[in-house]
Amino acid sequence: MTLTHPFFDADGDKLREECGIFGVIGVNDASAMTALGLHALQHRGQEAAGITSFDGREFYSRRGTGHVAENFSSSEAIRELPGHMAAGHVRYSTTGGAGLRNVQPLYADLASGGFAVAHNGNISNAIRLRQDLVRKGAIFQSTSDTEVIIHLVATSRYPTLLDRFVDALRLVEGAYSLICMTPEGMIACRDPLGIRPLVMGKIGDGFIFASETVALDVVGAEFLRQVEPGELVQVDFEGNVFSHRPFGQISARPCIFEHVYFSRPDSIFDRRSVYSVRKEIGAQLAIESPAEVDLVVPVPDSGVPAAIGYSQRSGIPFELGIIRSHYVGRTFIQPSDSQRHSGVKRKHNANRALVEGKKLVLIDDSIVRGTTSLKIVEMMREAGAKEVHMRIASPPTMHSCFYGVDTPERSKLLAAQMDVEAMRVFIKADSLAFVSIDGLYRAVGETGRNNTCPQYCDACFTGDYPTSLTDLADRESPPAQLPFPVNRVA
């Protein structure tokens, strides 16, 4: 997370969940299992990975830039991380946020012993808190907002670590799912609104926490339940599980974009199949915005389930009119503008024999800056498509996210600058339509959006932010120049 300009992928036109977390306690080869779990969460962060383990006496850490396989595929790497408890993290970097010092889990020696934390989310008052801590003498080793939590725990005056941890969390705003390791065991928790996901599983006598259920599937664990919003789950080395609710009962608002794009389709989020929800979003699109076309074509891979739903509801054949190359890495060297602009064709190519002379409706998950949609529409026309219509499986993305998603500043969001007709002209489509906000809510099993008390965090569509945005307010009206650089990294 960052308050400066974000780092985009090769297309520069996708929202990105910035991290995934995994933790296990009470199993042999905990680090090997953590590495496997992180593989399943690789889509949530591809810039860096880290694992910290505990063998009952000492904590061990290994962190590196790149994919999980680049850092943890060897037996030598796993041998460096002994113990029956381990936690791991995958992340995307943001501008100025790359480098090993920001790769998690972060570790510190506190008065009570070692403390390691892996964080998914964004602390929206981290700069304000950090400024106060620095004035009191705190020395930070990273530019991560996660380190603020460690300092707050370290400086709390409560007697037990759990009380100090709760005390720290009461001071932070924003979104967080956390997996923490201490000499006494593991603590997993979600913020009171449950914005970021976290689930709990069991394998043998051990327990697992992960950002998505797919990570439990991959390691062969049983899915028990989600960690509830505002819940802290403590697991000790005897296998005892304790649930704490220090924040009381608050109406949850999990991130609805997990259903649209972030989570893997084979995961369960907020008790619903992500794949089934995405198909239902496509069906809602077909009801709200039909198109007289010959073929329904997904923009792979994220548009596939919604396109299936659109096809099944409309009765229009589903075809793979765009073929995706799975061998284009995010680190592909692009020395010139012309090569950078050819990125879409390296990743997607029109299936000319199928689309030539046809009227198409393309299904994608979102439009951010519009550059990718423009290139894909142009590519289909060059391949001979007679008409190209675009349908989007989310409402227009009009606002930036401050809860753990890498979004451009609002001035670079196409929907914040143009109405739908102007966007259609920009991407050169014959027609353009987005699913309505109520249609999206119907797809996740609601009757519609409760405008008084929304069931999800949908701020990127509505601008209805569920928490205070202290750092944003300070940035727009800064009280004083900060004596240090800060880049949010989760």
Which of 142, 175, 177, 173 is closest to 487 using CA atoms?
Answer: 142
Are the C-beta atoms of residues 199 and 226 closer than 8 Å to each other? yes
Q: 19, 180, 189, 460: which one is catalytic?
A: 19
CA 229 → CA 82, 249, 438, distances in Å? 32, 9, 23
Q: What is the distance between the alpha carbons of residues 18 and 68, in angstroms, rounded to a whole number? A: 15
Q: Give the whole-angstrom CA distance, residue 397 versus residue 392.
A: 11
Residue 19: CB partners within 8 Å, gap ≥ 6? 44, 45, 89, 90, 91, 92, 104, 119, 120, 211, 404, 490
β-bridge pairing 174-182 and 185-190: antiparallel
**Would the CA dihedral through 408, 409, 411, 414 be positive or negative?**
positive
Cβ neighbour number for residue 340 with a 10 Å cutoff: 13
d(CA 298, CA 196): 27
What is the spatial distance between Cα 98 and Cα 143, in angstroms, rounded to a whole number? 10
Pairing of strands 359-364, 387-392: parallel
The reply to whether 19 belongs to the active site is yes
User: 2: phi > 0 → left, psi -120 to 50 → alpha, else beta; which?
Assistant: beta
Q: What is the CA radius of gyration of the chain?
A: 23
Tokens of 106: 């972060």
Side-chain half-sphere exposure of 42, counting CA atoms within 13 A = 15
Residues marked as catalytic? 19
